[in-house]
Structure 1
Amino acid sequence: MPADPRAVLTRPAPEPDRTVAYGDDPNQVADLRLPAGAGVARRLVVVLHGGFWRAEYDRLHTGPLAAALAAAGYPVAQLEYRRTGQPGGGWPGTLTDILSGVAGLPALAAAALPGRVSRAAPILLGHSAGGHLALYAAATAPATVGGVLALAPVADLGEAYRRDLDSGAVAELLGGGPAEVPDRYAAADPRMLVPIRTRTVVMHGSEDQQVPAEMSRNFVTSARAAGSDISLVELPGCEHFGLIDPESAAWPEVRAVLRSLHDDH
């Protein structure tokens, strides 16, 4: 693991093979990466980046992860979306972008990368706020999602608001707290959307300083009790960014869980 865990956020990665648009806004795009290996059509892996839904964080920081997944034989789409601080970002635009992108990307990718991408519902790999978005998509539009790997997800928006994660990020996303906009929390908070029928694995590092691992423990317990097909993999000694760093000690475990989700289909 690098001395600075955040180094992965600025590490260069190869340019994507294609970029496709799923809407008219400049942020409604996805970068596509061709899978290494034989030319067979495989299920798409859609990467949903984190950054607490804020404009200053974009899909580029998931480049090393996406490149590593492509090298392992997966077709990959790094989905961008409108974020808080941008026109149309926050409620509801950030959320509707995710639903539109996830639903549309298999066909867009199959057309852009002929013979390499299946049109089947994709596996969603979401980190941090992107983990929230992956869980939201699976709970809200399960027919469009083939499986979820949620890495250190913000899985409980009400609790994240109470803990004031990233200085008001949840209130900025939804336009207020649970007492002010309860209908928005009811519509967007994975904790309130269980059961999630799509097969889901949550991975979280025990040393996470950005999103406490306790949130994932509590969420998975609640989701399983409600009938969700969900499990938790907690990684001792791992912090927030190791989960998306192909050079970290955690990466082989992340890759193994993704393989189990992907190959089950």
Structure 2
Amino acid sequence: MDLSVRYGPEPDQLADVFFPATAPAPLVLVLHGGSWRLDVDRGYLEPAARALTRHGFAVANVEYRRPGGGGGWPATFADTGLAVDALPGLIEGEAPGRIDPARVVVLGHSAGGTLALWAAHRPGAPGVVALAPVAALADAHRRDPEGPVDRLLGGGPEDVPERYAETDPAALGTPPGPVVLFHGELDTALPTQLSRDYADAIGAELVLVPGAGHLDVVVADGPAWPALVETLAKLSTVERS
């Protein structure tokens, strides 16, 4: 880690920042998965974050509050929005000239992919890459009624419909900026149909990764890696408004 940056006063409102040798670099904001559980944090994505610096990206590996640790509705989403809005400026302030704060991409995996898709609808949102995301929260809740979506939102779509209306990527319509989804064809944790349905509904690009499971899509130099690096490079040329 080259820098630790806090984007808020809570213990989990921080990001580990890694810089490439070249500057100013486009910035990738990484949102980790783990079913929004307290026992899974940003650490598992550090190898991928470090690997992306070798391709010329600066990377902020973002932590956020999860259910049981002050997160859930609405704190997890508030943290996501605050991180996406504030971190480019904060990083530029602490390491002037190392990043281009106008060239930002949000990259989320699994549960973090859901947060990235949600963030795509914020004003001035950057481009988004979602790896094996939970692209339909209501559908995921129906598949597992007492699972992670229930803990995140505090109930099902019949109990708290307004929360699903505000957070479920499948209910939010087409975001204003570019969105690309990656999903491993052998993913047994989250069915590829969730990503297929979402991509069809909003007209997003979907990359199905042959031979890849749920975690394979975030493995540096794994089956998704060349296409992922190419996609990040393409989206990082679009300046954030």
Structure 1, residues 143-165: CA drift from partner, whole Å, max 9, x if none?
1x220011011110011111118
CA contact (8 A) 2:106 2:127 kept: yes
> Is 1:53 aligned to residue 36 of structure 2?
yes
Deviation of 1:264 after TM superposition, in Å, equals: 4.2
Structure 1, residues 140-191: CA drift from partner, whole Å, max 9, x if none?
x131x220011011110011111118x6100000000000000000011011
> Is 1:206 aligned to residue 185 of structure 2?
yes
Q: Give the SS at the match of 1:118.
A: strand
Q: Could you tell me which residue of structure 1 aligns to residue 223 of structure 2?
A: 249
TM-score normalised according to structure 2 size: 0.95
Q: Which amino acid aligns with 1:237?
A: G
Runs of 4+ in 1 over 3 A off after TM superposition: none
Deviation of 1:223 after TM superposition, in Å, equals: 1.5
Q: Which amino acid aligns with 1:218?
A: D
Q: Which amino acid aligns with 1:221?
A: D
Task: State how far apart, in whole Å, the 2-side matches of 1:94 and 1:122 are.
Answer: 21
Q: Could you tell me which residue of structure 2 aligns to residue 189 of structure 1?
A: 168
Q: How does 1:4-153 map to 2 (within 5 A)?
A: 16-37=1-22, 40-86=23-69, 88-120=70-102, 122-139=104-121, 141-143=122-124, 145-153=125-133
- Alignment RMSD: 1.3
Q: Could you tell me which residue of structure 1 aligns to residue 195 of structure 2?
A: 216
CA contact (8 A) 1:123 1:148 kept: yes
CA contact (8 A) 2:128 2:179 kept: yes
Gaps of 5+ in 2: none
Compared with structure 1, are the counterparts of its residues 237 and 208 closer, same or farther at alpha carbon in structure 2 (3 Å cutoff)?
Answer: same
Task: State how far apart, in whole Å, the 1-side matches of 2:123 and 2:134 are.
Answer: 19
Q: Give the SS at the match of 1:43.
A: strand
Deviation of 1:222 after TM superposition, in Å, equals: 1.1
Q: Which residue of 159, 162, 176 corresponds with 2:142?
A: 162
- The percentage of counterpart residues that share the same residue type is 45
TM-score normalised according to structure 1 size: 0.87
Structure 1, residues 20-74: CA drift from partner, whole Å, max 9, x if none?
111111100011111123xx32331100000111111101111001000112111
Deviation of 1:121 after TM superposition, in Å, equals: 5.7
Q: Could you tell me which residue of structure 2 aligns to residue 236 of structure 1?
A: 210
Structure number having the greater strand percentage: 2
Q: Which amino acid aligns with 1:147?
A: G
